[in-house]
Chain A
Amino acid sequence: MIIEEINILRQHGWQYIPDPQKAEVPAPFRGRPEIQVGMSLDTQNALVDLCPVEAIGMNPLSIDLGKCYFCGECAMAYPQAIRFTNDHRLASNVRQRLIVAEGDTRGIELDPDKIRKEITAMFGRSLKLRQISAAGENSHEAELNACGNVNFDMGRYGIEFVASPRHADGIVITGPISQNMAEATEICYEAVPDPKIVVLVGSDAISGGIFAGSGALNRSFLNKVSIDLYVPGNPPHPLTFINGILALSRSRS
Chain B
Amino acid sequence: MVLTTDKKSISIHNTEAVSIAEIPVLAYADFKAQILTWLHFEKCHCVAYFAYPFAGGLKFIAAIADDSNAQIYLLSHEQEGQIIELEALSATAMPMHIYEREIAENYGVVFNNHPWPKPVRFAFNRFNQEMQVNDYPFYKIESDQLHEVGVGPIHAGVIEPGHFRFLCNGETVLHLEIQLGWQHRGVEQLYLDKKTMLQRAILSENIAGDTAVGHTMAYALVSESLTGAHTQNTMLDIERTIALEWERIAMCIFDLSNLNIGIAYQLANSVFGALRTPVINFFQSWCGNRFGKSLIRPGGTHYPLTDELVAKLVAIMDDFETRFDAMAEKTFHLPSVLNRFDGIGKVTKKQMTLIGAVGQAAKAAGLIRDTRYTHPIMAYETLKVLPEMQNGGDVLARFTMRRLEIKQSIAMIRHLLDMRQYVDQESGAPLKQSESSMKPNTFSLALVEGWRGEICHCAITDENGNLQHYKVKDPSFHNWLALALSLRNLEISDFPINNKSYNLSYCGFDL
A-to-B contact residues, CB < 8 Å: 4-5, 7-9, 11-12, 15, 25-30, 50, 52-53, 69-73, 76, 84, 131-146, 149-151, 161, 163-164, 175-176, 178-181, 183-184, 188, 204, 209-211, 213-217, 234-235, 237
Contact = CB atoms under 8 A, between A and B. Distances in A.
B203 A210 contact: yes
Contacts of A84: 288
A176 B396 CA distance: 36
A205 to B, nearest CB: 12
Contact of A70 (B154, B289, B303): B289
A11 B182 contact: no
B158 A145 contact: yes
B125 interface: yes
Interface core residue of A84, A140, A188 (most chain B CB under 10 Å): A140
Contact of B210 (A15, A139, A214): A139
Given A5-B330, A135-B182, A140 B288 contact: no
Contacts of B133: 179-180
Given A132-B154, A138-B507, A211 B190 contact: yes
Contact of A184 (B153, B271, B288, B293): B153
Interface of B: 122-125, 133-134, 153-154, 156-161, 181-186, 189-190, 193-194, 196, 198-199, 201-203, 206-210, 212, 254, 267, 270-271, 273-274, 277, 284-285, 287-291, 293-294, 302-303, 322-323, 326-327, 329-330, 505-507, 510
B154 A141 contact: no
A29 B288 contact: yes
Nearest to A237: B290
B337 to A, nearest CB: 13
A214 B186 contact: yes
Please give me the 10 A-B residue pairs with the lowest Cβ-Cβ distance, nearest first. A139-B209, A216-B186, A163-B156, A216-B124, A28-B288, A137-B209, A214-B186, A52-B199, A180-B133, A131-B158
5 contacts: A135-B510, A163-B156, A181-B182, A211-B206, A215-B124
Given A30-B289, A137-B208, A181-B153, 12 more contacts: A15-B277, A28-B285, A28-B287, A53-B199, A53-B202, A141-B158, A178-B182, A178-B510, A180-B181, A184-B153, A204-B206, A214-B186
B210 to A, nearest CB: 5
Given A179-B124, A184-B154, A143 B290 contact: yes
A180 B209 contact: no
Given A52-B199, A150-B273, A161-B158, A135 B507 contact: yes
Contacts of B198: 50, 52, 71, 73
A11 B323 contact: yes
A4 B288 contact: no
Contact of A29 (B123, B208, B284, B291): B284
Contacts of B202: 52-53, 69, 71, 210
Given A28-B285, A210-B203, A149 B274 contact: yes
B270 A150 contact: yes
A28 B289 CA distance: 8
Nearest to A184: B153
A30 B154 CA distance: 32
B410 to A, nearest CB: 17
Given A28-B285, A71-B202, A137-B208, A144 B158 contact: yes
A188 B185 contact: no
Contact of B208 (A27, A50, A138, A184): A138
A142 to B, nearest CB: 7
Contacts of A69: 202, 293
Contacts of B183: 133, 135-136, 175, 178, 180-181
Contacts of B303: 28
Contacts of B274: 12, 15, 149-151
A159 to B, nearest CB: 13
B9 to A, nearest CB: 34
A211 B185 contact: yes
A4 to B, nearest CB: 5
Interface core residue of A12, A133, A176, A180 (most chain B CB under 10 Å): A180
A217 B189 CA distance: 13
A8 B329 CA distance: 11
A77 to B, nearest CB: 9
A131 B157 CA distance: 8
A28 B124 CA distance: 38
A175 B187 CA distance: 13
B267 A216 contact: no
Given A76-B302, A138-B505, A210-B194, A71 B294 contact: yes
A234 B206 contact: yes
A213 B199 CA distance: 14
A144 B209 CA distance: 13
A210 B124 CA distance: 17
Contacts of B193: 213-214
Nearest to B209: A139
Contacts of B134: 183
Given A8-B271, A11-B322, A139 B291 contact: yes
B292 to A, nearest CB: 10
Contacts of B293: 69, 71, 139, 234
A180 B122 contact: yes
